[in-house]
Amino acid sequence: MAKKVVTFGEVMMRLSPPGYSKFAQATSFDLVYGGGEANVAISCAYLGMKAAHVTRFPDNALGKAATQFLRHHWLSTEHVLYGGTMLGKYFLEKGAVHRPSEVIYERVGSSFSLIEPSMVDWEVVLKDADWFHWTGITPAISEGAAMCCLDAIKTANRMGITVSGDINSRQNMWKYGKTMQEVMPALVENCDIVITSRRGIREMFGLGDLDCKFRVSAKALMDTFPRIKKVVGKTRTSVSASHQQIQGKMWNGEEYLKTERLNITHVIDRVGTGDAFAAGLVYGLLHYEEDIQALDFASAACALKHTVPGDVNLVSLENVIDLMEGDTSGAIKR
């Protein structure tokens, strides 16, 4: 039977000038939908898993269009909520070569930001789930979203469901009166798998320093929050906006693991690559016996997302396995 993942977070409308045009050149915008957690769920669905996403949309044509986007990409939308009047959105100007990408957000007052814990029955939502995934973006949006996320995590704990958190967050998002240092510990202490960076561990929990290695910071995080079984991250080397290198890494409490470095020489779209890594990790840990296999799978999924336009990694299980096993040819599949 296929494994099931449930994710929770905001889905936004993404508007981009065609191709690599700058905002000043745009007379039209390409439109897609995306959000970190939904991106993970969709990626898992394309890998053959059952996947559901919980979010809140405005009860209007845009909210229905966003819902249809999730359904189109194989997600269960049974527990999508409707209310409020605004769909969050962001504008993306894609970088190229030495010019970086630029993002402008419009999400204050969105329907999702007004979510409250009483709106979701997590025992119903998580029935038959094998995995629950959240990111550090969700608790940064509003106090209601943070409390709802905590309820989901604790319910998953009670139900014996694995919980993963991709906790790298953006400091400038926390604008509702609480800091990530106040909110994140209660969420992270109930996680089984944490995806983060040395910098994230230092900024959120005051552990480690600029000079210590990832494994040292990861061990300090696991010592602080004993429920955590694995701390996972990736090293990204930006040769240019169009040329990236990716390497996965993990501290599992006993050994430090690293993947081979994958060289991505022609980046099509970098947005959502971290979500592709998280989805690959979820799939890998559920389907492979060895941690290094799961990490290799996650890194391959991440690398392939750089070749897919939009927020979401739409590659197949076969695509990821081929790259994981060393096939970098990109040869036509007939």
* Selected residue with higher pLDDT from 311 and 289: 289
Model pLDDT, residue 334:
54
Distance of CA 35 to the CA centre of its chain: 8
More confident residue, 304 or 172: 304
Q: With cut-offs at 50, 70 and 90, classify the pLDDT of residue 98.
A: confident
Question: Is 330 within a domain?
Answer: no
Residue 140 lies in a domain: yes
Number of domains in the chain: 1
pLDDT digits (tens, 9 = 90+) for 283-295: 999 999 999 999 9
Reported confidence tier of residue 52, pLDDT bands at 50, 70, 90: very high
Classify residue 332: in a domain, yes or no: no
Print the domain residue range for 313. 4-324
- pLDDT bin (cut points 50, 70, 90) of residue 311 is confident
Quick check: is 138 in a domain?
yes
> Residue 66's beta-bridge partner residues?
none
CATH of the domain at 62: 3.40.1190.20
pLDDT for position 330: 76
**Residue 328: per-residue pLDDT:** 81
Tell which residue, 169, 130, 191, has the closest CA to residue 36.
Answer: 169
pLDDT of residue 331: 67
Whether 331 is covered by a domain: the verdict is no
In a domain, 333, yes or no: no
